[in-house]
Amino acid sequence: MNPKQSSEDYPQPDAAEKLDSEQLSGRNEQFPVVGIGASAGGLDAFRQLLSHLPTDTGMAFVLIQHLAPNQKSLLREILARETAMPVVEVQDGMVVEPNCVYVIPPNTKMAIAQGLLRLTPRERNRGVSMPVDAFFLSLAADRGSKAIAIVLSGGDGDGARGLEAVKGAGGITFAQCEDSAEVSSMPNTAVATGQVDFILPPQEIAEELAKISRNPYVTHPNPARAVAALSEDETALQAIFGLLRTATGVDFTFYKETTLKRRILRRMVLYKLESLDSYVTYLREHPAEVQALYEDVLINVTSFFRDPAAFEALISKVFPAIVQDKAPEVPIRIWVAGCSTGEEAYSIAICLLEFLENQPIKPPIQIYATDISEMAIERARAGVYQQSMVADVSPERLHRFFVPIEGGYQIGKSIRELCVFAKQNLCSDPPFSRLDLISCRNVLIYLGAALQKKILPIFHYGLKPTGFLMLGTSETTGEASDLFALVDKKQKIYARKLASARLTLDLVTSNYPSAIASSDSRIKDSASNDFDLQKQADRIVLDRYAPVGVIINSDLEIVHFRGQTSLYLEPAPGRASLNLLKMAKEGLKIELRTAIHQAKKGEVPVRKDGLQIREGDRVRQVSVDAIPLPTGNLEEGYFLVLFEEVSSAIMPQSTEAREIETQSTSDKQEIDRLEQELTTTKEYLRSIIEEQEATNQDLKAANEEILSSNEELQSSNEELETAKDEFLSIVSHELRNPLNAMLGWTRLLRKRNMDATKMTQALEAIERSAMAQNQLIEDLLDISRITSGKLRLKPRPLRLTSVIEAAIDVVQVSADAKQIQIERSLQPLAEAIARDSDRLQQVIWNLLTNAIKFTPIGGRVNVTLAALGAQAQITVSDTGQGISADFLPYVFDRFRQADGSPTRSNSGLGLGLSIVRQLVELHGGTIEVESPGVGQGATFTVWLPLRANLEETAPSSSSETLTSTDEGEISVSNNKN
């Protein structure tokens, strides 16, 4: 399980604007807030939803739509005609009131904090704007179970990530059904997360909201008291726990009750149930709901590089300590406990790889990631994430460690192969061992004190003596502070103490099956007390009558003493050691070694009788049992070794008796002893030989696996060759076209029977073909330089107006040939800026060429330049063919074209817009694109900083999701090629 998103990223009200704390707290407790997000096609969905909503639901409605940043919005006026509720455009610091509708203004990002709507300037990061996600995330943090998220029509993945956070906080989620959505990408992406409660058309969403508003748990003014009310029906709660335990095998009895009760309340609201008994009945009649409740309790809400400061702490404090003095062949072992859908594990893997790049040694990496949710583990193994889920990943990491796929990204194979994902219950399944780092962030907060007390020693056991533990920012080691030393207080990073605590294996088990449910409301306390009494009684019986012994690991190190073992074991002289053979008294060592080896090999108990311990004139007859302990999937084996005195000690013999005893009897005893030792030694040597033969077999099997791996590598190389052949085929095809044209005209010229007009036409055609081929080659070289980091800019003072005018002059001939009018509105800037003139002109030329290519004859292209704040805004818009919303996420990808068929009318490699974006980012700027839709033109907008010199500006670190206007999704001609 993983956490709710932190609210630290969202704006908080200034001190002067804060309301009285009690008044503000009261506002937050009184009513739910409904966040509604949409993009293309959202206006009609908004209208349908509002027109069917009652005006007295007691809820507040906040509408977030993708709006054009520089145009006045009429959304408030349009929606005000659809409802009698007040509809207002949000102003910063506005207090949220029930039965009101709030509309986001243009060019802003909105969040809710402490009952106030806060506005910040819209971020301009490579065309990405995720206003719906931003608001939903803040809504989850601010309202918790009083949050409701709705995703309506739209053409990207905005809202999916925030919707998961709302459900993780205990809220309710909706998505518009595909049949009713004008553009279904946004709601479909939300549905794909598996976290949507209702999938309905807008009218039915309104009806469902009205029903929810009448539920007593929703209308309860204090959520905490509503949860507390469930405690009064302990019998029903125990019945629910029993149903969950029977269906899933997971016992939630000692989980945090408040968390469980909130999840139960949430499910009751969905089915309009008003009592816990009714919900128990519903669970019994609908087994699928038991599984749904189980998944609800285990809601996974996480993100890549969540809390970046925590990862910085790993890089600066933990990783250096882990690799210090580590041999190159010894792997770095990390366990991510409660890994959810894998983002945490993959983030750690990426950070560790980046750290090791600058280290002299690069040891192997083994990352084990576990979670109790099978669904989460399956998603983690696939490593596929929607575009909105990688919004916090920098462009460099996105390019290096992720592979673009349809609808999002997949973690690269090299990273996936470092991580092993498995289902695991921390409370009952065995842990991993010999670990350098355990990351268990925001898991303990869901567990009760008893489970925390059990799990932390398990973590201590699993770590190496120099290992580290990282918890969530709201978690501590609590009563286990004797096991861990604090390294970073803020990021909750701990170092393992060299404490004596070991993993305690509870060998005392109850013979009675656990009850599923009890009608006695006191069952939990009484069961706990009965268990304690039984355990004490068992302990007394064991101490008095059971044989003494020790628990050892596979290295024969003692990890636990049971009873008084001083008659059989004693500390060895010299350096302190807990090795069993070093502590065993003379007469036991050889037989002990043999018994343990045989038990380990055969995985069966082994008993050795007739062992003798001599203590002066006293001789003790001892039996030894070596018993393998079941440890599940635990890598390290454990054994119980028991010592039992089978006969009373032989009393010291008198002088007379010793004299009477014949020498032959004494010799016979010595011979028997020596023969026994010889037999034992032979058995031990025979077992060693058999073990060596088994090892050889293992090596042979490993060699076969290596051969199989080589075959897989060969297959992968063949796939790469195929991809390479396809690439070369595309390039050769595009390069051959202008060559064929030049060869054709050259053959005609050789015939020397052309007039002057035809001759001129031939020369112009040859020149155009040569220029086209040259441009293809230049594009390939540019993309190669950019990818390898070898492209160097040459900044010098320039005027942007001159750069744009020069680019227009270059394309004017092409525009005139299609009777396309180029209109310009260029605002002279106050001062020159230091930029690379040639590369900026290449950007403008590419955009203009692209616009002219995809604009029909007689169309229009507009170019503008203006200074907005500290940035220069350059726009290139056209009246061309535009592009479908489905292609928008791939507009700036390399080798991607809207029409990828061999018979497409426009040639090219699909590199133009990719080069444009890279060049703009190298200048510290961003580029975005907007369009109402197919056939309605496109607008590219370039933002360049004015007040920073080129050498002071770094490329943008945003992700690649694009935005749309309020009229529809963005559209763009693919590229100039």
Distance CA 199, CA 206 (A): 12
Q: Please give the pLDDT value at position 573.
A: 81
Q: Please give the pLDDT value at position 575.
A: 78
CA 901 to the chain's CA centroid: 36
Whether 402 shows a pLDDT value over 90: the answer reads yes
Going by their DSSP bridges, the two strands 419-423 and 365-371 should be labelled as parallel
- The larger pLDDT score, comparing residue 18 to residue 158, is at 158
**Average pLDDT over every residue of 946-970:** 40
Q: Please give the pLDDT value at position 118.
A: 94
Whole-Å CA distances, 221 to 32, 90, 317, 787: 10, 25, 46, 57
- The larger pLDDT score, comparing residue 392 to residue 356, is at 356
Q: Please give the pLDDT value at position 221.
A: 59
- At 952, the pLDDT band (50, 70, 90 cuts) reads very low
**Average pLDDT over every residue of 677-689:** 73
Whether 702 shows a pLDDT value over 90: the answer reads no
Whether 515 shows a pLDDT value over 50: the answer reads no
Whether 389 shows a pLDDT value over 70: the answer reads yes
- At 908, the pLDDT band (50, 70, 90 cuts) reads low
- At 400, the pLDDT band (50, 70, 90 cuts) reads very high
Whether 174 shows a pLDDT value over 50: the answer reads yes
Whether 321 shows a pLDDT value over 70: the answer reads yes
Distance CA 631, CA 27 (A): 53
Q: Please give the pLDDT value at position 540.
A: 67
What is the three-class DSSP state of 160? helix
Q: Which of 52, 66, 460, 597 is catalytic?
A: 66
Q: Please give the pLDDT value at position 536.
A: 62
Q: Which of 180-184, 489-493, 497-501, 678-682 has the highest mean pLDDT?
A: 489-493
Nearest to 52 by CA among 218, 215, 204: 204
Percent of the chain with pLDDT over 90: 24
Q: Which of 371-385, 480-494, 736-750 has the lowest mean pLDDT?
A: 736-750
Whether 440 shows a pLDDT value over 90: the answer reads yes
Q: Which of 357-371, 386-400, 520-534, 616-630 has the lowest mean pLDDT?
A: 520-534
Q: Taking a C-beta distance cutoff of 8 angstroms, is the pair 464, 22 a contact? A: no
Helices (H), 486-628: 523-545, 580-583, 589-602
Q: Please give the pLDDT value at position 698.
A: 64
Q: Please give the pLDDT value at position 127.
A: 46
- At 974, the pLDDT band (50, 70, 90 cuts) reads very low
Catalytic site residue 66? Answer: yes
**Average pLDDT over every residue of 870-884:** 89
Q: Please give the pLDDT value at position 367.
A: 94
- The larger pLDDT score, comparing residue 714 to residue 448, is at 448
Q: Please give the pLDDT value at position 841.
A: 83
Residue-wise pLDDT tens digits, 99-109:
999 999 988 89
Distance CA 546, CA 443 (A): 39
Going by their DSSP bridges, the two strands 618-629 and 638-650 should be labelled as antiparallel
Whether 272 shows a pLDDT value over 60: the answer reads yes
**Average pLDDT over every residue of 521-528:** 40
- At 861, the pLDDT band (50, 70, 90 cuts) reads very high
Whether 737 shows a pLDDT value over 90: the answer reads no
Whether 14 shows a pLDDT value over 80: the answer reads no
Residue-wise pLDDT tens digits, 76-115:
888 888 999 999 999 999 999 999 999 999 888 999 998 9
Distance CA 172, CA 145 (A): 8
Percent of the chain with pLDDT over 70: 75
Q: Which of 250-254, 362-366, 711-715 has the lowest mean pLDDT?
A: 711-715
Q: Which of 561-575, 577-591, 862-876, 899-913 has the lowest mean pLDDT?
A: 899-913
Q: Which helix (H) or strand (E) holds 661?
A: none
Q: Number of helices (H) and strands (E) in the chain: give both, helices first.
A: 29, 32
Q: Which of 25-29, 34-38, 122-126 has the highest mean pLDDT?
A: 34-38
Distance CA 205, CA 504 (A): 53
Q: Which of 133, 142, 158, 197 is catalytic?
A: 158
Q: Please give the pLDDT value at position 233.
A: 63
DSSP track, 56-119:
-SS-EEEEEE---TTS---HHHHHHTT-SS-EEE--TTEEP-TT-EEEPPTTEEEEEETTEEEE
Report residue 760 as tokens: 């001129």
Domains in the chain: ranges and CATH: 33-121+128-214 (3.40.50.180), 223-297 (1.10.155), 308-496 (3.40.50.150), 544-645 (3.30.450.20), 726-789 (1.10.287.130), 792-945 (3.30.565.10)
> Mean pLDDT score of the chain, rounded to an integer?
78
**Average pLDDT over every residue of 60-66:** 92
- At 331, the pLDDT band (50, 70, 90 cuts) reads very high
- The larger pLDDT score, comparing residue 380 to residue 534, is at 380
Distance CA 424, CA 295 (A): 15
What angle separates helix 42-51 from helix 202-213, to the nearest 10 degrees? 40
pTM: 0.49
Q: Please give the pLDDT value at position 98.
A: 93
Q: Which of 21-25, 336-340, 643-647 has the lowest mean pLDDT?
A: 21-25
- The larger pLDDT score, comparing residue 227 to residue 298, is at 298
Whether 24 shows a pLDDT value over 50: the answer reads no
Q: Which of 8-22, 160-174, 197-211, 303-317 has the lowest mean pLDDT?
A: 8-22
Q: Please give the pLDDT value at position 231.
A: 53
Residue-wise pLDDT tens digits, 446-457:
888 888 888 899
Catalytic site residue 39? Answer: yes
Whether 874 shows a pLDDT value over 90: the answer reads yes
- At 510, the pLDDT band (50, 70, 90 cuts) reads very low
Residue-wise pLDDT tens digits, 788-812:
666 778 888 888 898 899 889 888 8
Q: Please give the pLDDT value at position 733.
A: 62
**Average pLDDT over every residue of 160-185:** 89
Distance CA 394, CA 410 (A): 15
Q: Please give the pLDDT value at position 337.
A: 93
Whether 116 shows a pLDDT value over 60: the answer reads yes
Q: Please give the pLDDT value at position 248.
A: 83
